[in-house]
């Protein structure tokens, strides 16, 4: 599994987001890889309508219909076509009880949850909330040039033991197929990445390389 978080990069916003998402779909079709994208809330509906790969929200709030101005309503995300949502990304950290409630709201609607954690121990502590996946991303490596697979392989091994390979995604600095291949070998089910694709001069070539690492 490869999930690209579009964040709010200019190269992954609006029309650029749609073009980039279509490239992900092309690579998924050509390789058979499970490739997903997490896009901004304002781009979610259009991209979901035009793609047949899973499209994720970057965040939801644990609210229902009512007076919650500025919040992201889970029902709206579902209606827009999202298959699931990221939660607790290092750039959008949540209080523990808020995270628990957000996962519960997602479950009520059948949305897949990918919960981010800063280390294996924190990730394991989220198991009691029963998220679908836990993405372990050491914050010091996010957006860097060295992947967690290379810099701290022991993190992936430990996370696989504590969390279990079927739920484990890893991220931070993942850039190429070799990084993905090593992550899978160490016990991860897949990877969560962002700038390695969103800032690439040739995102299709990067995605083809990444997809090759899943084999």
Q: Structural domain boundaries of the chain?
A: 2-212
24, 71, 75, 89: the catalytic one is: 89
pLDDT at 178: 87
Comparing CA positions, the residue from 56, 20, 61, 44 lying closest to residue 190 is 56
Q: Is the pLDDT of residue 147 over 70?
A: no
Band of pLDDT at residue 149, cut at 50, 70 and 90 = low
Percent of the residues in the chain that have a pLDDT greater than 70, as a whole number = 94
Section 56-77 average pLDDT: 97
Packing angle of the helix pair 177-186, 203-212 (nearest 10 deg): 30
To the query of whether residue 59 is one of the catalytic residues in this protein, the response is no
pLDDT at 143: 60
pLDDT digits (tens, 9 = 90+) for 27-39: 999 999 999 999 9
To the query of whether residue 157 is one of the catalytic residues in this protein, the response is no
CB burial class (10 A; 0-12, 13-18, 19+) of residue 74?
Answer: buried
**What number of other Cβ atoms are within 10 A of residue 42's Cβ?**
11
Band of pLDDT at residue 150, cut at 50, 70 and 90 = low
Question: 75 vs 60, 81, 106, 161, 177, CA distance in Å?
Answer: 9, 10, 9, 35, 36
Burial 191-207 (b: 16+ CB within 10 A, else e): bbbbbbbbebeebbebb
Q: Which residues, at least 6 apart from 95, have a Cβ–Cβ distance to it below 8 Å?
A: none
* Residue keyed to tokens 């690209």: 4
pLDDT digits (tens, 9 = 90+) for 109-133: 999 999 999 999 999 999 999 999 9
Q: Is the pLDDT of residue 214 over 70?
A: yes
> Where are the strands (E) in 88-201, listed by range?
112-117, 133-136, 168-171, 190-193
Supply the mean pLDDT for the chain: 93
15, 121, 137, 154: the catalytic one is: 137
pLDDT at 15: 97
Comparing CA positions, the residue from 131, 180, 200 lying closest to residue 33 is 180
Q: Is the pLDDT of residue 175 over 90?
A: no
Q: Is the pLDDT of residue 154 over 90?
A: no
φ/ψ bin of 169: left (φ > 0), alpha (ψ from -120 to 50), beta (otherwise): beta
pLDDT at 120: 94
CATH code for the domain defined by 2-212:
3.20.20.70
pLDDT at 215: 82
pLDDT at 79: 97
Whole-prediction pTM value?
Answer: 0.94
* Residue keyed to tokens 């999930």: 3
What token pair was written down for 90? 């290092």
């Amino acid at each position: 599994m490869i999930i690209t978080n579009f964040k709010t990069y200019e190269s992954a916003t609006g029309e650029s987001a749609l073009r980039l998402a279509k490239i992900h779909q092309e690579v998924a079709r050509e390789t058979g890889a499970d490739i997903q994208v997490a896009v901004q809330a304002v781009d979610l509906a259009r991209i979901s309508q035009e793609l047949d790969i899973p499209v994720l929200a970057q965040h939801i709030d644990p609210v229902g219909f009512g007076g919650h101005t500025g919040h992201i309503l889970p029902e709206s995300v579902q209606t827009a076509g999202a298959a699931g949502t990221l939660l607790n990304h290092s750039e959008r950290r949540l209080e523990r009880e808020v995270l628990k409630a957000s996962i519960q709201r997602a479950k009520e609607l059948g949305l897949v949850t990918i919960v981010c954690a800063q280390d294996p121990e924190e990730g394991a502590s989220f198991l009691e909330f029963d998220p679908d996946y836990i993405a372990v991303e050491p914050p010091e490596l996010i957006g860097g040039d060295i992947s967690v697979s290379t810099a701290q392989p022991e993190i992936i091994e430990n996370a696989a033991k504590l969390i279990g390979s079927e739920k484990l995604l890893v991220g931070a600095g993942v850039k190429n197929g070799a990084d993905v291949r090593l992550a899978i070998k160490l016990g991860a089910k897949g990877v969560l990445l962002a700038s390695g694709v969103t800032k690439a001069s040739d995102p299709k070539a990067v995605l083809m390389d990444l997809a090759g690492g899943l084999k």
